[in-house]
Structure 1
Amino acid sequence: MVFIKLSMPHFDRTLKQYVEDEACFMFVNRGEVSIRSQEDYITLNRNKGLLAKCLNYFFEPSEDQSKCDDGIESVGIFLYPSLVEEVFEFDISKSNYSLDFNLKQIEIDRLLENYRESINILLDNPELADVHMIKTKLKEFVLLMTKSQQAPSQLDFLAALFKPNEVAFKSTIRHNLYANLSLDELAALCHLSTSSFKRKFKEVFNDSPKKYITKKKVEKAAELLKANDLRISDIAYDVGFDSLATFNRNFISLYGKSPSEYRLS
């Protein structure tokens, strides 16, 4: 599969599972969606696309729910080493070029907008999409991306797409502390099984994931209670608690008083 169009109604956080040696680009035709990875949290809509290397990341509903009332329609372009080596007659192992990102938000300029429309026509009229046409459109896409990312050559751009940047374990945790992720989801972002994630977490932070993350969320909430006039319920959700009751219980456990009492004191 090189080009695909997907329509999604309302959805919860959904994992884009790691596939070895697969890179992709995503256009959003309708609606808005957020993407969460090890170090990134970006928003996509009709004006912004996604260039992604091969790694785990999550699709999440937009924070502005009004932009998702009709669901989401997206177009994906998938790249694989064996495919690009066949189409371009490249040996991507010959390039050591790298790109300093795993996910990147791409502005949809006039060239990409016209390209998107041409792919929509092919997807809506599959009888037009013979092998020659698909290869031609794939070459056009790689040329557009090579120029927009200012890569030295198409070979260098393609080779770099299949080299994910390593992200430190601590950095992944730090960037996702307040995201209301389950342990299974955090483990997925770290490309670890849940059991391996727990062991790694204990080694790095000398505490269990649940205790450490809960404490950090409560400490962040205490800062917000002192620093502004946000409603307590808003603060609870902002730091990643899924219910006000759970937040209150953990806050009292750490500080010996309720959030409202803490704010007054």
Structure 2
Amino acid sequence: MRSIAENTTTNILKEQFIPDHVFIYVAKGALRIFDGDTNYIFKSGDAFLARKNRLAKYELLEDKDPFEPILFCFDEPFLKEFQAKHPYKKSGSKTNKALINIEKSVFLTSFIKSVKPYYKDVMELDADFEDLKYEELVIILLKQQPELIDLLFDFAPQQKINLEAYMNKNYTFNVNLERFSILTGRSLSAFKRDFKTIFNETPNRWLVKKRLEEAHLLISKKKQKPSDIYLDLGFESLSHFSVAFKKLFGITPKELR
């Protein structure tokens, strides 16, 4: 019901927008995650919490074992119900990080071992044990990292944020305008209106141009290959990237190299 699954058959995983907090334990394999600022590497035995309403890019890394995660998705109804049963006091600690490392502990190690028998499929818990195991995990997380109380039980709606700064940081994420509007605390119409005022351009045109200008810099100055950068810059295919690049600059990415 709350568990989520990822397609792990390819080394490149597209951008993900996660509307709920997600606990991820890397049982096998390794992955890289880019949150717009920082690259994180997680290997077998590592655990982290992916914060809700954030963007991230995931890439599976070469490893002797295929990637195998254990995931728990904490949706708002569950967390509100949990809070009503377990009224933890807020810690007053705040973080703006999209990914929070979860410390290794005896409690967490024992929990991971205990939960494996209850998985029906790769990412699906037996319904009879789901609520119990979800509550157990949250109790463990809050016991060893009390600062997570403020994060998990913050149910306030997304606040309106600085649109210019946000877009200049996250323009490489290939998500639709409606998602960008939600993440910046605006309706879609308000997002488009504010965007036009700030950038004097429509969002779609600005995004393509901004990505292509970055591509031009990476290819001409840093000698990177078009095939190595088009996905990271938010293009869905190499051919689409090449056509758009030539339309703006008059030459193909290969000709620039």
Structure 2 CA distance for partners of 1:233 and 1:24, relative to 1, 3 Å: closer
Question: 1:99 — aligned with what?
Answer: 94
Structure 2 CA distance for partners of 1:196 and 1:15, relative to 1, 3 Å: farther
- Pairing partner for 1:162 from 148, 153, 161: 153
Question: 2:145 — aligned with what?
Answer: 145
Structure 2 CA distance for partners of 1:259 and 1:75, relative to 1, 3 Å: closer
Contact 1:31–1:45 at 8 Å: present in 2 too? yes
Per-residue CA distance 1:46-88 (angstroms, 9 max, x = gap):
33322244x3245755243x5699564423163614423422x
Runs of 5+ unmatched residues, structure 2: none
- Counterpart residue identity of residue 116, structure 1: I
| Whole-angstrom distance in 2 between the partners of 1:225 and 1:6 | 37
- Counterpart residue identity of residue 45, structure 2: N
Q: What secondary structure, in the 3-state scheme, does the structure 1 residue paired with 2:70 have?
A: strand
Structure 2 CA distance for partners of 1:160 and 1:218, relative to 1, 3 Å: closer
Question: 1:18 — aligned with what?
Answer: 19
- Residues matched between the structures, number: 243
The answer to whether residue 212 in structure 2 is matched with residue 218 in structure 1 is yes
- Counterpart residue identity of residue 105, structure 1: I
Q: What secondary structure, in the 3-state scheme, does the structure 2 residue paired with 1:62 have?
A: strand
The answer to whether residue 227 in structure 2 is matched with residue 233 in structure 1 is yes
1:1-265 superposed matches below 5 A: 7-10=5-8, 13=14, 18=19, 23-32=21-30, 42=40, 44-53=42-51, 55-57=52-54, 61-64=58-61, 66=62, 72-76=68-72, 78=74, 80-87=79-86, 89-90=87-88, 92=89, 95=90, 97-111=92-106, 112-121=108-117, 138-146=138-146, 151=147, 157-163=148-154, 168-190=162-184, 192=186, 194-263=188-257
- Counterpart residue identity of residue 84, structure 1: Q
Contact 2:33–2:59 at 8 Å: present in 1 too? no
Q: What secondary structure, in the 3-state scheme, does the structure 2 residue paired with 1:27 have?
A: strand
Whose RCO is larger (CA < 8 A, sep 6+)? Answer: 1
| CA positional deviation for 1:232 | 3.3
Contact 2:54–2:98 at 8 Å: present in 1 too? no
Structure 2 CA distance for partners of 1:104 and 1:228, relative to 1, 3 Å: closer
| CA positional deviation for 1:190 | 3.6
Q: What secondary structure, in the 3-state scheme, does the structure 1 residue paired with 2:96 have?
A: coil
- Counterpart residue identity of residue 96, structure 2: F
RMSD, matched Cα: 4.2
Runs of 5+ unmatched residues, structure 1: 152-156
- Counterpart residue identity of residue 240, structure 1: G
| CA positional deviation for 1:8 | 4.2
Q: Which structure has more helix as a fraction of its residues?
A: 1
| CA positional deviation for 1:17 | 5.2
Counting aligned pairs with the same residue, the percent is 20
Per-residue CA distance 1:195-219 (angstroms, 9 max, x = gap):
4433332233221111111111121
Give TM-score scaled by structure 1 length.
0.66
Contact 1:32–1:44 at 8 Å: present in 2 too? yes
| Whole-angstrom distance in 1 between the partners of 2:231 and 2:91 | 43
> Considering only CA atoms, is the larger Rg found in Structure 1 or Structure 2?
1
Once the two structures are overlaid, the 10-residue window that deviates more, 247-256 or 201-210, is 247-256
| Whole-angstrom distance in 1 between the partners of 2:220 and 2:130 | 63
